[in-house]
Structure 1
Amino acid sequence: MSGPQASPPASSPAGPPTPRAPGTVKIGTIAGSDVLVTSSWFLVAGLIAIVMAPHAEAVHPGLGPWKYVAGFAFAVVLYLSVLLHEASHAYMARHYGFPVSTITLHFLGGVTAIEAEAKKPRQEFWIAVVGPLTSIAVGLVALGLRSVVPDGLLLMVVEGLAFGNLFIGALNLVPGLPLDGGRVLKSAVWQLTGSLHRGTVVAAWGGRVTAVAVLLWPLAQQAIWGTEPDVFDFVLAFIIGFFLWNGATASLQAAKIRRRLPVLVARNLARRTLQAPEDLPLAEAVRRARASTAEPSA
């Protein structure tokens, strides 16, 4: 899963750089945004290498231990396409004038930290939808290359990129937060109702429904196709469902808090101060402050 994530500004352009999150490694920059990799990425890359190793051996017999290297190389290439997905979010956000601090690749995909909220539904829509469209475009290009790439490891990588990116693009268009499709739904409801809060709530509940559907998927596949789900199916469904439910719930809570907060104006919160000498008794300072409707200060 991947997508943009709005967050409060961490620093001004002239201030210190945004501190790197713990457990991450910086691997470069894209358009001024740090590209980070979490420690969990190395775990999933290793798992992908193990899963793909038998396929590499079948395509190119006699690889021996190098089949795991081939599997790991595929994981790197696949996540480079995820990075392209996230970079498209970042470029679109910058197009609208929003700063982007980091792009982080993690266990379930990636996230782009946009340090501002969209001000218009149109901005929310394009920042969100450009990611899945990029993944689908990469998948279609890779699909087209299948006919010209010779059999072997390269064809295995191209086919993996094709179906992997088409899956990522389609999954991220599911209309529920925190997926990109949830932000698309949020922008649509916002545009129709004029209410950002209502758009967020509808999209968050879409995310919760999606999470429940994912959790029930192993049982559904048995009912639909008659295939017996294994432990891996249940574990994967739990991880993805848990991620979706938590992300949707966080968006729902943030929307409720944002709605309850009054519009604060700094001028209304400001208070005049009363200068008092050090030897002035506290009671007298308080009396003078009350008399002048000012806050006492020494």
Structure 2
Amino acid sequence: MSRETLGEPTDRRGGVGYASRVPDDDPSDQGVTRPARPRGTLRIGTIAGIDVLITSSWFLVAVLIAVAIGPRIEQVQPGMGVWKYVAGLVFAVLLYLSVLLHEASHAVVAQRFGYGVTSITLHFLGGMTEIDRGSRRPRHEFWIAVVGPLTSIAFGVAAIGLWFVTPDGLVRVAVEGLAGANLVIGVLNLVPGLPLDGGRVLKALVWGASGDQHRATLVAGWGGRLAALALLSWPLVQEQATGVETTLFDLVLVMVLALFLWTGATAAMAHARLRRRLPALEARPLARRTLTVPEDLPLAEAVRRAQDAHAGSIVTVTGSGAPLGIVNESSVNAMPVERRPWVAVSAVTRTLEEGLTLPAALSGEELVLAISRRPSEEYLLVEDDGSIYGVLSTADVDRAFREAAH
């Protein structure tokens, strides 16, 4: 409760979420509540119980692919007219199915190691696998990351073999395109820089050799930044290296990809620096002193008792002392003072649903992730024996989090 409502929140002196994306190094437990589907995405199915989503940007890239491959289709099958673009859209779907295979391999390996996978999303630049926690060990990080590029390369090699036995025509064009695209996807994703899979492979190797996950992330982040700078220089040497003249489309594509690499690497590095400060964030010192009351007590009397006890929160309990709910600060503030004597405290109490009771010993990333899994204004902190320690307010955690970041 706020200072104005019950008394100042106090310490307890004598009383009370590649390339695939993984929320870098965030630990969690199993049984994570699946978050709401992100805005701008469409769910198209599931794989091994994992939601498969596509973003609205996918439709744009599908059209671009259809236009780009149209001349090749016309060359192989003249006279198709507008149907060549329909064939191009079919190829775009097949290509992204192979991208989905790449992402599904990340997801399956992550599940084999005991991690929860929230979703697989196909977007403008490829795909992203949302895993509910960062890797616990370097070898987990290595295998979850490397399996994606290896899957793409294996798919590309298989397509090359199929190409030799496929007769001339549209099917052969599709096989040819899938072979080339998957080999490129696989090789480029092994570039040793975040946020690419190769960056996570590099991170795993440095982490395993040094034992320092923070340093490993920074090294892989710098790898991503260097890759972005190298990519920006490609248009300068493209014509000399390939004999193909650089076009405006090439320049735009390079700039988009370089920006993706730079921002992804920078975000990972910033997260690693913040993560190093998180161990100072502990639930116990942030807990508000708590008063326990029966749920049928008038609200005015509950508030009076809390103020007398200098408590920052109120918890309703049964006759035997088992906690029932947390009195919501916002609801108390919204209740007119003149009505409080006639309203039971249960009217402004949130029932202790699953996820609203947390161990008092939580700290660091575990504390932040526990709160993010089950968003609420307040949480009940309990000891190992089930006894009430205090109430943790999200506002207090946010304030401490900001202080830890500076």
Q: Do Structure 1 and Structure 2 share a fold, with TM-score over 0.5?
A: yes
Does structure 2 retain, via aligned residues, the 8 Å contact 1:204–1:251?
A: yes
Aligned to 1:240: 257
In terms of Rg, which structure is larger? Answer: 2
> In structure 1, what is the Cα distance between the partners aligned to 2:291 and 2:147?
55
Figure out how many residues of one structure are paired with residues of the other and give that number: 288
Shift of 1:266: 3.3
Q: Does 1:139 align with 2:164?
A: no
TM-score scaled by structure 2?
Answer: 0.67
- SS of corresponding position for 2:44: strand
Structure 2 unmatched runs, 5+ = 1-17, 293-300, 315-406
1:70 to 74, 87, 97: 87
> In structure 2, what is the Cα distance between the partners aligned to 1:174 and 1:57?
34
TM-score scaled by structure 1?
Answer: 0.90
1:117 to 129, 134, 145: 134
2:68 to 48, 51, 68: 51
CA change 1:274–1:197 in 2 (3 A) is same
Q: Does 1:88 align with 2:86?
A: no
> In structure 1, what is the Cα distance between the partners aligned to 2:282 and 2:306?
34
Counterparts of residues 163-182 of structure 1 (less than 5 Å): 163-182=180-199
The residue type paired with residue 165 of structure 2 is: V
State the Cα RMSD in Å: 2.4
- SS of corresponding position for 1:248: helix
Counterparts of residues 178-257 of structure 1 (less than 5 Å): 178-225=195-242, 227-257=244-274
Aligned to 1:103: 120
Shift of 1:261: 1.8
Aligned to 2:179: 162
Range moving further from structure 2, 176-185 or 219-228 = 219-228
Query: Percent sequence identity over matched residues?
Result: 57
Q: Does 1:22 align with 2:36?
A: no
- SS of corresponding position for 1:26: strand
> In structure 2, what is the Cα distance between the partners aligned to 1:278 and 1:121?
51
- SS of corresponding position for 1:261: helix
| Offset from partner CA, 1:58-100 (integer Å, 9 cap, x none) | 1011212110111111111000000000000000000011111
Counterparts of residues 268-279 of structure 1 (less than 5 Å): 268-270=285-287, 272-273=289-290, 278=303
> In structure 1, what is the Cα distance between the partners aligned to 2:205 and 2:153?
21
> In structure 2, what is the Cα distance between the partners aligned to 1:197 and 1:29?
34
Does structure 2 retain, via aligned residues, the 8 Å contact 1:139–1:165?
A: yes
Q: Does 1:6 align with 2:23?
A: yes
> In structure 1, what is the Cα distance between the partners aligned to 2:167 and 2:75?
15
CA change 1:58–1:263 in 2 (3 A) is same
Does structure 2 retain, via aligned residues, the 8 Å contact 1:4–1:89?
A: no
Structure 1 unmatched runs, 5+ = 290-294
> In structure 2, what is the Cα distance between the partners aligned to 1:47 and 1:14?
37
> In structure 2, what is the Cα distance between the partners aligned to 1:281 and 1:227?
76
Aligned to 1:292: none
| Offset from partner CA, 1:225-252 (integer Å, 9 cap, x none) | 5654221111000000000001000000
> In structure 1, what is the Cα distance between the partners aligned to 2:207 and 2:96?
32
The residue type paired with residue 27 of structure 1 is: I
